[in-house]
């Protein structure tokens, strides 16, 4: 083993020091030891700074304190830049409210090296391990992203294989990926930024892989549920962003008709459920970000290295499965 760790594990804390302590404790018990933790205190308003201060002197942890909340995208980008600047081969992104099994990192690294994937994700279960949170991320031909197999029984978990993308809250990436396609888009702040990075990776010819052997646990929305209307606002803001940025010209018309039909229905549903204000604010903010999206589109589509037929082969044909549950995930916040 070299003196310098090969993998940087980036963990973001925002008003959740209890979850962070549990998360870090699980990471420190990994069977694969050649890693370093980059822990970011992301502008919390609770007593996280005081509760996490012991990490300042930990030899396996670099502890960073942000004066304000940079969002998930801005926060993890700090860690990714650190990984690139310090020549780490891999960077793992891990939500602070996730808990990983002892072999999680070892299994992710083994899978990545075995199949050559630029992004590698594992089997993500809910907190008590009774249901599936994700077996990788997918993107539907109706322009909607979704986590594969969410809320299904654990016994139904799919076997390992290539997927559209990894769930950024518990996935491993080669740093070369970010050198090639760029970092997370910080205008997303939070939500669907991992779909954007997955789409950009696919367009550039990078592969994502799901391994059933890398096990983690996560209670979805633990942090965002503390902010009323946050998920609704972010969803209506961000869903059109990656559509305009990432969907190639050959898919733009048909996917666009389907997507904006769904988007309109989602808005009606939001209004009926008393979410008029955050949904409307999200739409208006999305409109103001359209010039940014179109500018990024020009850059992203220039780097496209795959055929349209290949891209269609990795996209789910149809509406997301369990689309009623999909809607509940957004509006019951």
Per-residue pLDDT tens digits for 277-303: 999 999 999 999 999 999 999 999 999
The residues near 268 (Cβ < 8 Å, ≥ 6 apart) are none
**Residue ending a domain, choose from 191, 225, 259:** 225
The total of other beta-carbon atoms located within 10 Å of residue 152's CB is 16
209 and 300 together in one domain: no
User: What pLDDT sits at residue 330?
Assistant: 52
100 shares its domain with 238? no
pLDDT band per the 50, 70, 90 thresholds, residue 328:
low
Q: Are residues 217 and 281 in the same domain?
A: no
Number of domains in the chain: 2
Would the pLDDT of 223 be above 60? no
**CATH assignment at residue 96:** 3.90.550.10
Report which of 72, 189, 209, 223 is spatially closest to residue 137, judged by C-alpha positions.
Answer: 209
Show which of 225, 247, 263 is a domain's final residue: 225
Per-residue pLDDT of 157-205, as tens digits, reads: 999 999 999 999 999 999 999 999 999 999 999 999 999 999 999 999 9
11 lies in the same domain as 57: yes
What confidence score (pLDDT) does residue 1 get?
42
pLDDT band at 219 (very low <50, low <70, confident <90, very high): confident
Residues 48 and 181 in one domain: yes
Q: Last residue of a domain, which of 225, 253, 282?
A: 225
pTM for this prediction: 0.94
State the chain's maximal CA–CA distance in angstroms. 58
Same domain, 126 and 37: yes
Judgement on whether residues 207 and 244 belong to the same structural domain of the protein: no
Give the H or E element holding residue 165.
none
pLDDT band at 225 (very low <50, low <70, confident <90, very high): low
Do both 213 and 239 map to the same domain?
no
* 213 belongs to a structural domain: yes
CA–CA separation, 147 and 134 (whole Å): 5
Pair 289, 209 in one domain: no
User: What DSSP string runs through 65-115?
Assistant: EESS--HHHHHHHHHHHHHHHTT-SEEEEEETTEEE-TTHHHHHHHHHHHH
User: Are 130 and 278 contained in the same domain?
Assistant: no
**Residues 279 and 305 grouped into a single domain:** yes
| 2, part of any domain | no
Q: Which domain holds residue 60?
A: 7-225
Do 147 and 167 meet the contact criterion of CB atoms below 8 Å apart?
yes
The reply to whether 93 and 215 lie within a common domain is: yes
Kindly give the interhelix angle for 323-331 and 230-246, rounded to the nearest 10 degrees: 120
Q: What is the pLDDT of residues 34-71, one digit of tens each?
A: 999 999 999 999 999 999 999 999 999 999 999 999 99
């Amino acid at each position: 083993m070299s003196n310098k760790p090969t993998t940087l594990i980036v963990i973001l804390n925002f008003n959740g020091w209890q979850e962070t302590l549990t998360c870090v404790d699980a990471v420190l018990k990994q069977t694969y030891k050649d890693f370093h933790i980059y822990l970011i205190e992301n502008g919390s308003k609770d007593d996280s700074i005081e509760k996490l201060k012991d990490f300042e002197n930990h030899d396996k942890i670099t502890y960073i304190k942000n004066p304000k909340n940079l969002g998930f995208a801005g926060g993890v980008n700090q860690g990714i830049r650190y990984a690139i600047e310090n020549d780490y081969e891999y960077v793992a992104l891990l939500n602070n409210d996730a808990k990983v099994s002892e072999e999680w990192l070892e299994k992710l690294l083994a899978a990545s090296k075995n199949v050559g994937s630029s992004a590698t994700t594992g089997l993500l279960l809910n907190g008590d391990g009774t249901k599936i949170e994700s077996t990788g991320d997918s993107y539907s031909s109706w322009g909607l992203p979704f986590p594969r197999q969410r809320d299904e029984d654990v016994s139904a978990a799919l076997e390992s294989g290539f997927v559209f993308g990894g769930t950024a809250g518990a996935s491993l990436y080669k740093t070369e990926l970010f050198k090639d396609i760029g970092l997370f888009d910080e205008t997303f702040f939070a939500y669907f930024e991992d779909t954007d990075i997955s789409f950009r990776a696919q367009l550039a010819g990078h592969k994502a892989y799901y391994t059933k052997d890398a096990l983690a646990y996560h209670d979805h929305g633990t942090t965002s549920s503390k902010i009323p209307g946050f998920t609704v606002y972010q969803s209506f803001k961000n869903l059109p962003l990656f559509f305009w940025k990432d969907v190639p010209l050959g898919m733009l018309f048909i996917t666009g008709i389907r997507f904006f039909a769904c988007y309109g229905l989602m808005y009606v549903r939001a209004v009926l459920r008393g979410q008029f204000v955050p949904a409307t604010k999200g739409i208006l903010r999305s409109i103001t970000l359209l010039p940014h999206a179109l500018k990024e589109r020009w850059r992203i589509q220039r780097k496209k290295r795959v055929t349209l037929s290949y891209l269609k082969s990795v996209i789910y044909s149809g509406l997301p499965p369990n689309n009623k549950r999909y809607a509940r995930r957004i509006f019951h916040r």
